[in-house]
Amino acid sequence: MKVKKNLAITLVTAAMLAALAGCAKGGITEPHVENSPIRISFDESLGLSKTADSTNPLDAIIYEIDLSQRMSKSEHDSYGNYHSNKITELEEFYFPVLEIDKFELTGIAIDAAGFGYFYTPINRDNDYHHLDSGIELRIGRPDYVYTTTFEEKVKINNLEIKEDGFAYHEWTEFCAVCGEINGVWFDITANISFADYEYLRDIALQLVKNAKLVDVKQELDVMRKNAD
């Protein structure tokens, strides 16, 4: 299958790129920033080219994986971020099943270390800026090999694990709750104006409870069958 360039790479504004590029700012999820991640946008109002139907973001991810698996070697050479971000190697990943009051999912980024999910206020105005009022969730890939344990990384960052099992961090501009889902790390990061441990912790609790472990092969089989 030959892949058109306008389907292969989504161009985004520099601000959104920074928000979705990888590791949460100051969080503990290990970054992968050598290559531009694969990006999926659901919202043209942010100045981004809408590339997918926001009613089913999981399908949008599976589409990108299917796209990468159908690429020829020459296409992978041209669209190196699919290859370098190991999209074809994805066998399973955690997908967040989240309801954040007054927020909606507007973008996803995928790289070799994990997934970034970007949530923006539903009632945003023209002056909206993600660094002021957005929430970013970063979930690692189950196939990513961490160089340290979660507990060691927490200690390196001078954090402490709270009774809920999460670590919380505040710094100059941002705050984050960090945790694990069956050994897979995640960060929930927001502007320092969100500096409320209980607020971010409740999102983390919802994430741990409801996150779906996606079987990529199964999802691809269903998608391809429905396309026939």
Q: How remote is the C-alpha of 159 from its chain's centroid? A: 23
Dihedral pair phi/psi, residue 87, rounded to 5°? -65, -40
Domain boundaries along the sequence of the chain: 5-227
Q: Is the pLDDT of residue 139 over 90?
A: yes
Residues 90-105: pLDDT tens digits?
999 999 999 999 999 9
What pLDDT sits at residue 12? 29
Cβ pair 115, 65 in contact under 8 A:
no
Residue 222 region by backbone torsions, left for phi larger than 0, else alpha for psi between -120 and 50, else beta = alpha
Cα–Cα distance measured from residue 93 to residue 171, given in angstroms and rounded to the nearest whole number: 29
pLDDT at 74 over 80: yes
pLDDT score of 47 more than 80: no
Assign 78 a pLDDT band (cuts: 50, 70, 90). confident
At residue 116, the pLDDT reads 95
CA atoms within 13 A on the CB side of 187: 29
Q: Which two tokens stand for residue 45?
A: 């109002």
- pLDDT value at position 128? 66
Question: Quick one: pLDDT band at residue 11, thresholds 50, 70, 90?
Answer: very low
Whether the pLDDT of residue 18 is over 50: the answer is no
For 93, residues 6+ apart whose C-beta sits below 8 A from its C-beta are 61, 115, 139, 141, 142, 213, 214, 216
Is residue 59 scored above 80 in pLDDT?
yes
Handedness of CA 224, 99, 177, 19 (dihedral sign): positive
pLDDT tens for 175-216 read 999 999 999 999 999 999 999 999 999 999 999 999 999 999
Q: How confident is the model at residue 31 (pLDDT cuts 50, 70, 90)?
A: low
Q: In Å, what is the CA distance from 41 to each residue of 13, 52, 60, 172, 192?
A: 11, 6, 9, 28, 25
State the pTM of this model: 0.85
Q: What is the mean pLDDT of residues 10-32?
A: 40
Pairing of strands 135-140, 184-191: antiparallel
For 222, the 3-state DSSP assignment is helix
Instruction: Indicate whether 64 pLDDT > 80.
Output: yes
Judged against a pLDDT cut of 80, whether residue 173 lies above it is answered with yes
Q: What is the Cα–Cα distance from 106 to 159, expressed in whole angstroms?
A: 30
Contact 94, 212 (CB under 8 A): yes
Q: Which helix (H) or strand (E) holds 174?
A: strand 174-181
Residue 184 parent element (H or E):
strand 184-191
